Amino acid sequence: MILRINEELHEKGVAFLQLANSTGEDKTYIHEFVMFNTTVGIVRVESYAKEEVFVTVDKISKRERGYDLYCGRIVEWPTWQIDITNLLTVKPGNIRLKFWNELFTSNEYLDTNNLIDVVMF
Protein backbone atom coordinates (compact mmCIF):
# COMPACT_ATOMS: atom_id res chain seq x y z
CA MET A 1 0.00 0.00 0.00
CA ILE A 2 2.86 2.38 0.82
CA LEU A 3 4.33 1.83 -2.65
CA ARG A 4 0.97 2.56 -4.30
CA ILE A 5 0.50 5.77 -2.31
CA ASN A 6 4.07 6.81 -3.07
CA GLU A 7 3.49 6.16 -6.77
CA GLU A 8 0.36 8.35 -6.78
CA LEU A 9 2.19 11.14 -4.97
CA HIS A 10 5.09 11.13 -7.40
CA GLU A 11 3.15 10.61 -10.63
CA LYS A 12 0.09 12.79 -9.93
CA GLY A 13 1.25 14.85 -6.97
CA VAL A 14 -1.84 13.91 -4.98
CA ALA A 15 -3.39 10.87 -3.27
CA PHE A 16 -6.90 10.59 -1.83
CA LEU A 17 -7.23 8.12 1.05
CA GLN A 18 -9.88 6.70 3.30
CA LEU A 19 -8.88 4.66 6.35
CA ALA A 20 -11.35 2.66 8.43
CA ASN A 21 -10.99 0.06 11.14
CA SER A 22 -12.99 -2.52 9.19
CA THR A 23 -14.16 -3.29 5.68
CA GLY A 24 -17.66 -4.12 6.92
CA GLU A 25 -20.57 -2.46 8.65
CA ASP A 26 -18.94 -2.94 12.07
CA LYS A 27 -16.43 -0.12 11.47
CA THR A 28 -16.41 2.41 14.28
CA TYR A 29 -14.18 5.07 12.74
CA ILE A 30 -13.33 6.37 9.29
CA HIS A 31 -10.89 9.10 8.31
CA GLU A 32 -10.54 10.62 4.86
CA PHE A 33 -7.78 12.94 3.78
CA VAL A 34 -5.78 14.12 0.79
CA MET A 35 -2.00 13.99 0.55
CA PHE A 36 -0.08 16.40 -1.67
CA ASN A 37 3.51 16.21 -2.84
CA THR A 38 4.70 19.81 -2.45
CA THR A 39 8.06 21.54 -2.72
CA VAL A 40 8.38 21.33 1.09
CA GLY A 41 7.44 17.64 1.22
CA ILE A 42 4.28 15.64 1.78
CA VAL A 43 1.32 17.54 3.22
CA ARG A 44 -1.89 16.00 4.57
CA VAL A 45 -5.10 18.00 4.19
CA GLU A 46 -7.90 16.67 6.33
CA SER A 47 -11.38 17.77 7.05
CA TYR A 48 -14.30 16.56 9.03
CA ALA A 49 -17.41 16.67 6.92
CA LYS A 50 -21.07 15.85 6.70
CA GLU A 51 -21.95 13.64 3.78
CA GLU A 52 -25.12 15.44 2.69
CA VAL A 53 -25.48 19.17 2.37
CA PHE A 54 -28.28 21.58 1.64
CA VAL A 55 -27.66 23.90 -1.27
CA THR A 56 -29.72 26.84 -2.41
CA VAL A 57 -30.22 27.32 -6.13
CA ASP A 58 -32.53 30.10 -7.32
CA LYS A 59 -33.83 30.50 -3.76
CA ILE A 60 -34.84 26.82 -3.59
CA SER A 61 -33.14 24.75 -0.92
CA LYS A 62 -32.53 21.09 -1.71
CA ARG A 63 -30.45 18.21 -0.38
CA GLU A 64 -27.51 17.16 -2.54
CA ARG A 65 -24.69 14.68 -2.13
CA GLY A 66 -21.49 16.44 -1.34
CA TYR A 67 -19.34 17.51 1.55
CA ASP A 68 -19.87 20.39 3.90
CA LEU A 69 -16.42 21.03 5.33
CA TYR A 70 -16.71 22.31 8.84
CA CYS A 71 -13.28 21.63 10.29
CA GLY A 72 -10.08 21.27 8.38
CA ARG A 73 -6.37 21.33 8.90
CA ILE A 74 -3.15 21.09 6.92
CA VAL A 75 -0.30 19.05 8.35
CA GLU A 76 3.24 18.62 7.07
CA TRP A 77 3.77 14.85 7.16
CA PRO A 78 7.39 13.82 6.65
CA THR A 79 6.85 10.53 8.51
CA TRP A 80 3.79 9.42 6.52
CA GLN A 81 5.33 6.12 5.37
CA ILE A 82 6.26 5.09 8.90
CA ASP A 83 2.95 6.29 10.36
CA ILE A 84 0.77 4.45 7.83
CA THR A 85 2.88 1.30 8.13
CA ASN A 86 2.55 1.42 11.91
CA LEU A 87 -1.18 2.00 11.68
CA LEU A 88 -1.59 -0.97 9.33
CA THR A 89 0.53 -3.33 11.45
CA VAL A 90 -0.31 -2.44 15.04
CA LYS A 91 -2.71 -4.82 16.77
CA PRO A 92 -6.36 -3.74 17.07
CA GLY A 93 -7.45 -2.43 20.45
CA ASN A 94 -6.16 0.18 22.87
CA ILE A 95 -2.71 0.55 21.30
CA ARG A 96 -4.13 1.13 17.82
CA LEU A 97 -6.72 3.56 19.19
CA LYS A 98 -4.02 5.54 20.99
CA PHE A 99 -1.88 5.69 17.82
CA TRP A 100 -4.89 6.66 15.66
CA ASN A 101 -6.01 9.39 18.05
CA GLU A 102 -2.52 10.91 18.28
CA LEU A 103 -1.98 10.74 14.52
CA PHE A 104 -5.29 12.33 13.54
CA THR A 105 -5.96 14.39 16.68
CA SER A 106 -9.22 12.57 17.21
CA ASN A 107 -10.99 11.07 20.18
CA GLU A 108 -12.10 7.61 19.07
CA TYR A 109 -12.84 5.16 21.86
CA LEU A 110 -14.13 1.96 20.22
CA ASP A 111 -12.13 -0.36 17.97
CA THR A 112 -12.88 -3.57 16.07
CA ASN A 113 -10.74 -6.70 15.80
CA ASN A 114 -10.31 -6.15 12.07
CA LEU A 115 -7.37 -4.83 10.11
CA ILE A 116 -7.31 -1.23 8.91
CA ASP A 117 -9.00 -0.91 5.53
CA VAL A 118 -7.30 1.49 3.11
CA VAL A 119 -9.18 2.81 0.09
CA MET A 120 -7.65 5.12 -2.50
CA PHE A 121 -10.07 7.13 -4.56
| pLDDT 10s digits, 19-73 | 998 888 888 888 889 999 999 999 999 876 555 555 666 776 666 655 555 567 8
Structural Rg of the chain based on CA atoms: 16
Q: Using CA atoms, how far apart are residues 96 and 116, in angstroms rounded to an integer?
A: 10
Q: What is the DSSP letter of 109?
A: -
**45 closest CA partner among 5, 10, 72:** 72
Q: How confident is the model at residue 118 (pLDDT cuts 50, 70, 90)?
A: very high
Residue 1 has pLDDT above 80, yes or no: yes
Q: pTM of this prediction?
A: 0.77
User: Can you give the residue ranges of every domain in the chain?
Assistant: 2-114
The whole-number average pLDDT for the span 3-10 is 96
8-12, 53-57, 74-78 — which is least confidently predicted?
A: 53-57
Mean pLDDT of the chain: 85
Q: Using CA atoms, how far apart are residues 7 and 25, in angstroms rounded to an integer?
A: 30
pLDDT attached to residue 61: 65
